[in-house]
Amino acid sequence: LLPLLLLLPFAALLALVAARWSPLLALDRTLATAFHRTAVADPGLTRTNRIFSDWVWDPWTLRALLAVAVIALLCRRQWMLGCWVAATAALGTALQQTLKALVDRPRPVWPDPVDSAGYAAFPSGHAMTAAVAGGLALWLLRLYGARRAWRRAAAALIAVSVAGVGLTRVYLGVHWATDVLGGWLLGGAWVAVAALVYVRRYGTRHEARR
């Protein structure tokens, strides 16, 4: 059910973005302009956003954290689960890059940019990577039976991080809001599908510990 709840809105959003639906473009432009004005007017806040976007929540930082998790799983001889997590992350990146090329949506352009980014805009790579990394982390905690308090704390931290990733990208003027929304939806759906297939094929957390 969860994959469908995420995939259907993503498919609708993808269709609207690909069709260049005017009301959606107007909404994106309004939001982007409001954020950009603040970014230009407050260099200190903009600098902070760049630090979080370019270092703390950078896709390569998140991929490095996933790599640590994969290594930990392999050290515990959880070969299939470790490979599954690695493949989910890698194929998610490939999917995101393929969609970017197919949709080929231009990024926002400003006469006074506060940051820069290359390649196409939709879906946001930062947002999707954050959703994939966060989703996989929560799934692994659940799979291994982590205490509810730990899962809740992790969920809160991940929610703040995933939201923060998206907001910084729009604030810095390198993505439209719907790019970020698309990245969140697709990343969440991708992890939900991967987790569902894994559990159906290889079993529950008790089997994962063997």
Rounded-to-integer distance, Cα 138 and Cα 154, Å = 7
Q: DSSP secondary-structure letter at 103? A: H
Sign of CA dihedral 60, 194, 180, 17: positive
| Residue 147 in tokens | 């205490």
Helix (H, G, I), strand (E, B) or coil at 152: helix
pLDDT of residue 206: 44
What is the value of pTM for the model shown? 0.92
Range of the domain at 38: 2-208
Rounded-to-integer distance, Cα 202 and Cα 184, Å = 27
Residues near 121 by Cβ (< 8 Å), separated by ≥ 6? 100, 105, 106, 107, 108, 175, 176, 179
Number of domains in the chain: 1
Tell me how far the alpha carbon of residue 143 is from its chain's centroid.
Answer: 21
| Residue 95 in tokens | 């999917």
Residue 104 zone, left/alpha/beta (φ > 0; ψ -120 to 50; rest): left
Q: DSSP secondary-structure letter at 174? A: S
Residue 191: closest CA among 143, 98, 149, 128: 128
pLDDT of residue 146: 84
Residue pair 172/50 in contact (Cβ under 8 Å)? The answer is yes
Q: How do the pLDDT tens digits run along the chain, 210 residues long?
A: 788 999 999 999 999 999 999 999 999 999 999 999 999 999 999 999 999 999 999 999 999 999 999 999 999 999 999 999 999 999 999 999 999 999 999 999 999 999 998 889 999 999 999 999 999 999 999 988 888 999 999 999 999 999 999 999 999 999 999 999 999 999 999 999 999 999 998 876 544 444
